[in-house]
Chain A
Amino acid sequence: MNTPLIILSYLILAPVTGGLLTGLDRIITARMQSRIGPPILQPFYDVGKLFSKENLVVRKAQNLFIIFHLLFLILTGALFFCGGDLLLVVFAFALAGVFFILGGYRTSSPFAYVGAERELIQMMAYEPMLIITAIGMYMTTHSFNVLDIMSSGKPLLLQLPGVFIGFLFILPIKMRKSPFDLSMSHHAHQELVKGITTEFSGPTLALIEIAHWFELILILGIILLFFPNNIWLGLAVECAVFFLVVLTDNTFARLRWQTLLKAAWIATFVCGMGNILVLSFLK
Chain B
Amino acid sequence: MSFLKKSPWIIHYDASSCNGCDIEVLACLTPMYDIERFGIINTGNPKHADIFLITGSVNEQNKSVVVNIYKQMPEPKVVVAIGTCALSGGIFSECYNIIGGVDKVIPVDVYVPGCASKPENIISGVVQALAVLEEKHAKRCKDKKASKGKK
Residues of chain A whose beta carbon lies under 8 Å from any beta carbon of chain B: 26, 30, 33-39, 42, 44-46, 48-49, 52-56, 189-191, 194, 197-202, 205
Can you add 18 more A-B contacts, CB < 8 Å, to A35-B36, A46-B39, A189-B45? A30-B36, A35-B31, A37-B36, A38-B39, A39-B39, A42-B6, A44-B3, A45-B7, A46-B3, A48-B2, A49-B4, A49-B6, A49-B50, A52-B3, A190-B42, A194-B44, A194-B45, A199-B47
- Kindly report which residue of chain A lies nearest to residue B34, judged by CB atoms: A35
A46-B7 in contact given A33-B31, A35-B31, A53-B50 (Cβ < 8 Å): yes
Q: Is B137 an interface residue (CB 8 A)?
A: yes
Q: Name the segment of B58-66, B68-76, B91-99, B118-126 touching the other chain.
A: B68-76
Separation of A48 and B4 alpha carbons in the complex (Å): 8
Residues of A close to B37: CB separation below 8 A: 30, 35-39
Q: Which residues of A contact B6 (CB under 8 A)?
A: 42, 45, 48-49
State whether the Cβ of B108 lies closer than 8 Å to any Cβ in chain A.
no
> Are B36 and A53 neighbours in the complex by a CB distance under 8 Å?
no
Q: Select one of B3, B31, B74 contacting A202, CB under 8 A.
A: B74
Enumerate 6 A-B pairs (CB-CB under 8 Å) in ascending A order: A26-B36, A37-B34, A38-B37, A54-B74, A201-B47, A201-B74
Asked if A56 contacts B3 (CB within 8 A), the reply is no
Pairwise interchain contact B7-A53, C-beta atoms closer than 8 A? no
Q: How far is the CA of A200 from the CA of B72 in the complex (A)?
A: 11
Interface size on B, residues (CB 8 A): 25
B36 neighbours in A (Cβ, 8 Å): 26, 30, 35, 37-38
5 closest A-B pairs by CB: A190-B44, A48-B3, A45-B6, A54-B74, A201-B47
The yes or no answer to B27 lying at the interface (CB within 8 A) is: no
A253 vs B44: C-alpha distance in the bound complex, in angstroms?
A: 20
Q: How far is the CA of A51 from the CA of B44 in the complex (A)?
A: 20
- B127 interfacial by beta-carbon distance below 8 Å: no
Is the pair B47, A56 in contact by a Cβ cutoff of 8 Å? yes
Contacting pair A189 B7 (CB below 8 A): no
Could you tell me the distance in whole angstroms from the C-beta of A24 to the nearest C-beta in chain B?
15
Nearest CB to that of B36 among chain A residues?
Answer: A38
Question: What's the Cα separation between A45 and B39 when bound, in Å?
Answer: 8
- Indicate with 1 or 0, residue by residue over B94-122, a CB within 8 angstroms of chain A CB atoms: 00000000000000000000000000000
| CB neighbours of A198 from chain B (8 A) | 45, 47
Q: What is the distance, in angstroms, from B104's C-beta to the closest C-beta of chain A? A: 25
Is residue B132 within 8 Å, beta carbon to beta carbon, of the partner chain? Answer: no
